[in-house]
């Protein structure tokens, strides 16, 4: 092309068109359009009508005038809201509600358990076996039409029968609401018994205590004399004194030292970290600690526990530290049912001692 421009150095030609704009001669570069997104080549535009995939979308101007449109073949329309010119519609149509003429047989179903009622014909419900119910307007008139009644067993599912006109035979065993008693009845008396003085011979007519006193024929008003010797043992009547003619010699008083303990003992002997069971759990008993002592061999922290529940805070001990609880009237620690008595330590010190407890 005569207007081409030669690139310096390479001699390559660039296609241009020489144009004049405002008295200035310029070269407008000629170029081709290609398709594709970023970094993708999908082909070049070509002249003539192309398919949609090879065409560039065109946007109409905002003030675009009417564009005539022609179409051959079938139109693809989404929906029709109105038709201006009459359109003939062919096919088969039915009304939403269909009129019915002629004879219709209604099937009453099989739940009636009676084949004669399953298909009703002839109007028998209006006149049943010659009994004209259709013309009766009152219950009394209808009652005269009933000529037979079942005289067999009658089962009342609910409610109460208040009146029976005809005699009905009743069978079975019956009891009166209040039962008469005859013969001798033996009663076992417990608790406090109130006696009616009016039934005691000779007392019913007395109105004063003085008169009643004369009815008592024997009353002990003097001292009680024991004619026989008291049996040996701990049964003592009256005051008891101790002869201390020679103190600590005559009738000396001494307290016997117990040879056994009323408490159960458990050895404390462990060096493990964490929970160490001293008294195992027994269901459903509880453990009460009355006395305890122990000594630690190295620095550690100790917590007394009832199962998983801490009974004390963390107690810090140095090497050689001791822990002593003397016996008291009340237990130092009381556990819950079916839980072990535990001593927990943070370190690995040897902890040795003894615990005195009750478990019940």
Lowest-pLDDT choice from 214-223, 238-247, 268-277, 316-325 = 214-223
Enter the DSSP assignment of 88.
-
What secondary structure does DSSP assign to 280-329, as a single string? ---TT--EEEEEEEEEESS-EEEEEEETTEESS--EEE-TT-EEEE---S
Residue-range domains of the chain with CATH? 1-46 (no CATH), 264-359 (2.60.120)
Would you say residue 274 has pLDDT above 90?
A: yes
pLDDT digits (tens, 9 = 90+) for 81-120: 777 777 777 877 777 777 777 765 655 455 544 555 445 5
Q: Rounded to whole angstroms, how far apart are CA atoms 3 and 28?
A: 9
Look at strands 127-128 and 5-6 and give their pairing.
Answer: unpaired
Of residues 272 and 179, the one with the higher pLDDT is: 272
| pLDDT score, position 236 | 63
Lowest-pLDDT choice from 120-129, 268-277, 334-343 = 120-129
pLDDT digits (tens, 9 = 90+) for 1-15: 568 888 888 888 888
| pLDDT score, position 284 | 95
Per-residue confidence at 250, pLDDT binned at 50, 70, 90?
low
pTM (two decimals): 0.33
Would you say residue 171 has pLDDT above 90?
A: no
């Amino acid at each position: 092309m005569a207007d081409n421009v030669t690139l310096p150095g390479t001699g390559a030609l660039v296609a241009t068109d020489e144009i004049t704009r405002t008295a200035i001669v310029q070269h407008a570069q000629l170029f081709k359009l290609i398709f594709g997104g970023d970094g993708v080549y999908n082909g070049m535009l070509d002249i003539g009508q192309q398919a949609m995939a090879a065409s560039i979308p065109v946007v109409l101007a905002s003030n675009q005038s009417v564009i005539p449109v022609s179409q051959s073949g079938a139109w693809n329309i989404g929906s029709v809201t109105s038709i201006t010119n009459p359109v003939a519609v062919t096919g088969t149509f039915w009304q939403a509600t269909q009129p019915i003429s002629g004879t219709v047989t209604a099937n009453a179903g099989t739940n009636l358990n009676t084949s004669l009622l399953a298909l009703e014909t002839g109007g028998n419900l209006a006149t049943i076996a010659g009994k004209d119910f259709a013309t009766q307007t009152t219950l009394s008139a209808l009652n005269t039409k009933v000529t037979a009644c079942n005289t067999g067993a009658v089962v009342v599912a609910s409610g109460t029968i208040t009146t029976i006109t005809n005699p009905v035979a009743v069978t079975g065993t019956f009891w009166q609401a209040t039962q008469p008693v005859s013969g001798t009845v033996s009663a076992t008396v417990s608790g406090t018994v109130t006696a009616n003085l009016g039934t005691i011979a000779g007392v019913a007519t007395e109105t004063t205590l003085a008169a009643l006193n004369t009815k008592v024929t024997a009353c002990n008003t003097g001292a009680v004399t024991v004619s026989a010797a008291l049996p040996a043992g701990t049964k003592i009547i009256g005051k008891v004194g101790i002869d201390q003619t020679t103190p600590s010699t005559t009738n000396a008083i001494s307290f016997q030292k117990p040879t056994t303990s009323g408490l159960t003992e458990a050895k404390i002997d462990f060096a493990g970290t964490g929970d160490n069971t001293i008294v195992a759990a027994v269901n459903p008993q509880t453990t009460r600690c009355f006395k305890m002592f122990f000594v630690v061999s190295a620095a550690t922290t100790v917590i007394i526990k009832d199962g998983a529940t801490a009974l004390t805070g963390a107690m810090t001990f140095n090497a050689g530290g001791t822990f002593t609880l003397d016996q008291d009237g009340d237990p130092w620690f009381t556990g819950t049912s079916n839980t072990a008595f535990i001593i927990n330590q943070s370190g690995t010190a040897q902890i040795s001692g003894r615990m005195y407890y009750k478990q019940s």
